[in-house]
Amino acid sequence: LEIIIADVKMLMESIKKRAEEHKFTLMVGRSHGIHGEPITFGLTLAVWYDEMARHLENLEQTMEVIAVGQISGAMGNFAHAPLELEEYAMAELGLKPEPCSNQVVHRDRYARLATALATMASSIEKFAVQVRHLQRTEVYEAEEFFAKGQKGSSAMPHKRNPILTENITGLARMIRGYAVPAMENVALWHERDISHSSTERFWLPDAFITTNFMMHRMNNVIANLTVMPENMMKNLNLTGGLVFSQRVLLELPKAGVSREDAYKIVQRNAMKVWEEIKEGKPTIDENGESLYLGHLLADEELRAKLSEEQIRDCFNYDYYTKNVDAIFKRVFK
């Protein structure tokens, strides 16, 4: 477990380094897979760092839970050996005595370990899946490092597949799978049976080895990840300015428009843009302005409440990055 904790710290350092590098690298935020609002890639990485910090705390607490032992006899009653022997032996091993045991250390402790590794593996998979999405051809905002001469596909020479993060996704499934037998091992008969023994010969070594490998592979992905800011900006503009809709929506009530009416005004112009995108129309007009801005400026009801300057100001990227420094101070303490 000490090795895994060191792995977590290693990965956190790599994430932090890349987060600082891309603190203000603009990209589109997505919910349900659909473009939402501008964010930065640094913020995405800050989320990952903060999530790993929780796992680090959980693993350190788990170390306290799992680092116990016992020499309390066949039934845990110390009938044939004094408590002092157990206390002395545990001190020599750097462990704490199980306060009240039976024939074995209670398996809820081991279940805690398995679930701690499983939940962390789920987070690592979350990061890997996002990298896989960003590497998709139609997104192509980031990709795993691809070395000269490396092969992506044995059949299609042009391909650059995200094989490392796909591998990590599979490994995470295995690590989560080990949590089930660990939890089922808690319910031993009376003072002990050996139904737990056979499973632990598999899941204990495999969980540690697989987690260690997965962490180093994810660290390699993050440290060497190729990030494409130009493509991020290109994708941010794919929807012709629709990513600024909420800003317009929030400005209208300040001008005396009800929230419901403001939503109707903003949405009807957004729907015009979606229709034009469906028809293959360029999202930037001949004057270099986004389709959505054009529709908003032409909306008489909207213009009666907001000036051209106020509408144009809603399309300012700086509005969406104004709190990045403050967020980083909260995360990277």
Task: Catalytic residue, from 122, 123, 153, 198: name it.
Answer: 153
**Long-range contact set of residues 303-306: C-beta below 8 Å, sequence gap at least 24:** 305/252, 305/255, 305/256, 305/257, 306/248, 306/251, 306/252, 306/255
CA distance 42 to 28: 12
CA distance 127 to 51: 10
Q: CA-based Rg of the chain, rounded to a whole angstrom?
A: 27
Is residue 55 annotated as part of the catalytic site, yes or no? no
41-66 and 2-21 are packed helices; what angle lies between their axes, rounded to 10 degrees? 170
CA distance 40 to 289: 22
- Asked if 234 and 25 touch (Cβ cutoff 8 Å), the reply is no
CA distance 170 to 185: 24
Q: Where are the beta strands (DSSP E) in 105-210?
A: 142-143
Nearest 5°: the CA angle 205, 209, 212 is: 145
Beta bridge partners of 40: 26
Cβ-Cβ contacts under 8 Å for 34 (sequence gap 6 or more) = none
Task: Catalytic residue, from 14, 22, 32, 123: name it.
Answer: 32
Is residue 153 annotated as part of the catalytic site, yes or no? yes
Q: Residue 268 CA to chain centroid, in angstroms?
A: 34
Catalytic residues, by residue number, are: 32, 153
